[in-house]
Structure 1
């Protein structure tokens, strides 16, 4: 039987209470909401937190709304809630694309958006999606609130800029007129981690690309970003030829590792194909 090591458990009743508990228990405490990643790691003793701070009662972190030209998504929003949000899906179709292929209904019903990002798994889907749309992460600590671009949020595998006494409270996605987005993924089976995946957002001005965002999952892209491919697209025609070229550029600037999901060459092929596919779909949505 796999069982976690001994730990303390506290249930937070407000964001301020959660921050106080995190400060009380120090860097060996962990926040828990859905727990689908943390609990298995604790059972295998890959993670041995001294205290868990349960934030499931913090309803102030559970909203989805449009405000100030942004889509705002609380960190405690469940995957199923985001998938069901017609407003979020209309403004950012990439989110619905990604949520449909995340794990299974059990995980989507309990897992949270904030938990997914803070886990910082290199194969996590929403990290690439939020990277593509240039989302901002709102982080609160006892000394105040700070906003960090998601492109600067990840410091490495399973590591983020969120401090030991801080809490991710919200994601803010800037709404751009004339933009479209999409996510494309290949996994070994339904609900599995990605072999490779690509998210894209395009803002068009006529037939040209005014701005491009591309996020890559599971292929060793620094901070999930395909920056060179974005630079290539920006200011040029939104054409099939250029989308294909951007896919090859993205494939050439990531660093996939050979593993049980496939060899390096196969993963690079997927990056090129999925990036091209996501760009085509994003352009269709931007024009429609």
Structure 2
């Protein structure tokens, strides 16, 4: 690794202050992506600002029809939460399928969505449920938060503090995992909400996206049969050694049908 200064602030305000004072700082939450990146010398920040000691960023609460999860809450905590399992079972299932036990006990929801890996699971849940991302300065709708590959709407010095999920009528998630990393080659989150049906796809493209044709088909018939013949255009999907864009287009329909069956 390159030399850097390590900081462990005790509050969000202190973390924001450090980010504003240093020349090229990076925020460290779970470190599941950043630490390997540092080891490979692909990043050389001047300072690391570790959010692990900020208690206000951890925890899960359910109030009315909203589940709120602190940004530094680990995947394992979400997966094991009885409150999450009762309110949004699909979200608990999604968290339990991320990586391996080591990743789940270190990785955090805030770190995952801020990194916005195109194959990450959580972006599908946020967009699929119409979640809201809370930062130290504002609230951002999930539809506006994920901008592109490894890119979000976060401004320099802005830190995710929590995510609020509206409780859906029903929801399901299914993914075709990479056998080594457990990242989603394709993952589909389907939710029937008070505002209508939402279908969010991760892994298939450069960034999570909504499958509008599937949403329209499910609006009148929430069943796997409704999307069986809905075709996803392959033109702009990912194409790599794990799967061709055409295969990913096929998998979107397969995973959507499984997600709907899970929701039902």
TM range (shorter): over 0.9
Alignment-derived partner of residue 182 in structure 1: 172
Larger mean CA deviation between 181-190 and 155-164 belongs to: 181-190
Alignment-derived partner of residue 75 in structure 2: 79
Alignment-derived partner of residue 244 in structure 2: 263
**Residues 94-243 of structure 1 aligned to structure 2 (within 5 Å):** 94-140=90-136, 145-176=137-168, 179-189=169-179, 191-203=181-193, 211-220=196-205, 223-234=208-219, 236-243=220-227
- TM-superposition CA deviations, 1:92-151 (whole Å, max 9, x none): 1221221222110011111111000001100001111111111100011xxxx3110111
Cα gap change, 1:254 to 1:212, in 2 (>3 Å):
farther
Give the superposition deviation at 1:18.
0.7
- TM-superposition CA deviations, 1:32-90 (whole Å, max 9, x none): 12111101011112222111101101111111001253110000101110001011112
Alignment-derived partner of residue 207 in structure 1: none
Alignment-derived partner of residue 27 in structure 2: 31
Give the superposition deviation at 1:29.
1.1
Q: Secondary structure at the match of 2:138?
A: strand
Give the superposition deviation at 1:254.
7.4
Distance 2:17 2:224 in 1: 53
Cα gap change, 1:222 to 1:126, in 2 (>3 Å):
closer
Q: What TM-score do you get using the length of structure 1 for normalisation?
A: 0.86
Asked if the contact 1:127–1:224 (Cα under 8 Å) also holds between the matched residues in 2, the reply is no
The number of equivalent residue pairs is 264
Contiguous gaps of at least 5 residues in structure 1: 205-209
Runs of 4+ aligned structure 1 residues displaced above 6 Å come to: none
